[in-house]
Amino acid sequence: MKNDMDVEPNLAVLLDVATEAAQAGGAVLHSYWGKLENIREKGRPGDLITEADQAAEAAVLAVIKRYCPDHQILAEESGALGNPDSPYLWAVDPLDGTTNYAHQYPFSATSVALLIQGGPQVGAIYDPFHRELFRAAKGLGATRNRQPIHVSKTDKLAQSLLVTGFAYDRRETKDNNYAEFCRMTHLTQGVRRGGAACLDLAYVACGRLDGYWERGLSPWDIAAGIILVEEAGGIVTAYNQGPQRLNTGRLLATNGLIHQSLSQELLQVEPMVFNLE
Ligand code: IPD
Ligand code: CA
Ligand code: CA
């Protein structure tokens, strides 16, 4: 009997599924904009969930299940779904940037990725507030609104614009990224805190930003963005330039040209001890 991996996956078709799913989620985000009635904390302080997260996830899942009923899904709000034996795993963040969204700061998107045997191979990210659709699949390149994109050519850290973020556990750990943020702010033209990891990666892919690092992330935050950066000519690794592993929640993504210097700087940073009681 044939199993799923006996047939070469058609990444172009799977990319269209990811795109339809991300656009369905993004349409829901647009429709709830400014109309939220139910904003709650999920667990840690500041980790929010709204009716838009749940409705967008339902819309994304409906598309994936319609086309790929035999695949696995890992969705932020619903957890693990589908066939656990499938080599195909969809990683879904229906609303990346929930804090922004809840405050009506328009920097959020729906992110849909397909991992095949553990590696991100297809990604679609849709930002309905700027009407930007970012897409990539392994070997097929990366696009923004269907036009090819490429990482920036900035080759010096001192001339770079970076982005990072701070996980919801930042008040509970010394590994909170505060010291890294200060050091890189000192060494570069600036460090932004976008608040939506998938768009941070998409912005590296299209050259608006030169590099991104962050810890405490989940596969659904970064899987689509990783394939985008790679297909746009950039590099994604662990902080020490070793292979990036999704389950570490940590990554360094750059245009390639500043990768080594950013990695070296990140590895030198000592945690900053605050007394912020
Ligand atoms: C968060 C955003 C944010 C990052 C957090 C993520 P959410 O996702 O991507 O930029 O710093 O670590 O959890 O909660 O808005 O889906
Ligand atoms: Ca997220
Ligand atoms: Ca989310």
**Nearest in space to 218 (alpha carbons), one of 81, 92, 100, 116:** 92
Strand ranges, E, within the chain? 39-41, 48-50, 72-75, 79-82, 88-96, 109-116, 119-127, 132-137, 141-144, 147-148, 161-164, 190-193, 211-214, 235-237, 251-254
Cα–Cα dist 146/148, whole Å: 7
Residues in the chain: 277
Provide the 8-state DSSP code for 227.
H
What pTM value is reported for the model?
0.96
Cα–Cα dist 222/199, whole Å: 9
Question: Rounded to the nearest whole angstrom, what is the distance from the C-alpha of residue 98 to the centroid of ligand 3?
Answer: 6
Q: Which atom of ligand 1 is nearest to the CA of 216?
A: 12
Question: Rounded to the nearest whole angstrom, what is the distance from the C-alpha of residue 22 to the centroid of ligand 3?
Answer: 13
The answer to whether the beta carbons of residues 121 and 114 sit under 8 Å apart is yes
The pick from 53, 96, 212 for probing ligand 1's pocket by mutation, whose C-beta has the most ligand atoms within 8 angstroms, reads: 96
- Give the 3-state secondary structure percentages of the chain, helix then strand then coil, rounded to 5: 35, 25, 40
pLDDT tens digits, one per residue of 205-220 = 999 999 999 999 999 9
Question: Rounded to the nearest whole angstrom, what is the distance from the C-alpha of residue 96 to the centroid of ligand 3?
Answer: 4
Q: Which atom of ligand 1 is nearest to the CA of 76?
A: 16
CATH class given for the domain over 11-148 = alpha beta
The CATH number of the domain covering residues in 157-268: 3.40.190.80
Q: Count of alpha carbons within 13 Å of 109, Cβ hemisphere only?
A: 32
**Nearest in space to 164 (alpha carbons), one of 261, 269, 251, 255:** 251
Domain residue spans of the chain: 11-148, 157-268
- Ligand 1 in reach of 94 Cβ (< 6 A): no
- Ligand 1 in reach of 219 Cβ (< 6 A): no
- Ligand 1 in reach of 97 Cβ (< 6 A): yes
**The predicted structure's pLDDT at residue 1:** 37
Question: Rounded to the nearest whole angstrom, what is the distance from the C-alpha of residue 4 to the centroid of ligand 1?
Answer: 32
Which two tokens mark 55?
A: 């409705």
Which two tokens mark 238?
A: 């662990």
Q: Which atom of ligand 1 is nearest to the CA of 101?
A: 15
Contacts of 250 (CB under 8 A, 6+ apart): 213, 214, 215, 216, 217, 238, 239
Mean pLDDT, contiguous 10-residue spans, the chain (277 residues): 66 98 98 90 85 97 98 97 97 97 97 97 98 98 98 98 94 91 97 98 98 98 98 98 97 98 96 70
